[in-house]
């Protein structure tokens, strides 16, 4: 059976909801991480990519089926690298982002919007 990997652009998903996230980026990242941990998603692995101040909200590493990655440079580069690595290992890869430039550069991964993910994680 083909492994399924969901790569989440944390900044993009958090930024898609105007709930004051910009006042507490680390708290917004932590809330997203908590929702991903309990979500019933049809993916074997979830990779949450965080950048900047959001990294302070969730430690890097694996927590159940969620792997949190702190981007060394920018989130987009890390997301592209994670998607490429999973594709090269034979996984079906879905990237969640609204960033069109990023979405165009993760082929053959499927690209879905933050609203798709938010609808599934409550």
Task: Output the tens digit of pLDDT for each of the chain's 122 residues.
Answer: 799 999 999 999 999 999 999 999 999 999 999 999 999 999 999 999 999 999 999 999 999 999 999 999 899 999 999 999 999 999 999 999 999 999 999 999 999 999 999 999 98
Residue 32: predicted pLDDT: 97
Q: Tell me the C-alpha distance between 63 and 78, whole Å.
A: 19
∠ at Cα 107 (94, 38), nearest 5°?
A: 10
User: Can you list the positions of beta strands (E) in the chain?
Assistant: 4-9, 45-50, 61-63, 66-70, 92-96, 110-112
Overall CATH class of domain 4-121: alpha beta
What pTM does this model have?
0.96
∠ at Cα 103 (14, 7), nearest 5°?
A: 55
User: Other CB atoms closer than 10 Å to residue 115's CB: what's the count?
Assistant: 13
Residue 1: predicted pLDDT: 78
Domain ranges of the chain: 4-121
Residue 40: predicted pLDDT: 92
Q: Tell me the C-alpha distance between 74 and 71, whole Å.
A: 6
Residue 122: predicted pLDDT: 83
Strand pairing partners for 92?
4
């Amino acid at each position: 059976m083909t492994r399924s990997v969901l790569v989440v652009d944390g900044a993009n998903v958090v930024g898609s909801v105007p709930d004051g996230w910009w006042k507490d980026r680390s708290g917004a990242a932590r809330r997203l991480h908590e929702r991903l941990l309990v979500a019933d998603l049809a993916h074997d692995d979830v990779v949450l990519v965080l950048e900047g101040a959001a990294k302070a909200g969730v430690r890097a590493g694996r927590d159940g089926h969620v792997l949190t990655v702190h981007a060394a440079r920018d989130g987009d580069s890390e997301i592209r690298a994670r998607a490429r690595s999973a594709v090269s290992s034979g996984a079906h890869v879905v990237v969640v982002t609204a960033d069109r430039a990023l979405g165009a550069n993760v082929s053959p991964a499927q690209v879905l919007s933050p609203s798709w993910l938010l609808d599934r994680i409550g």
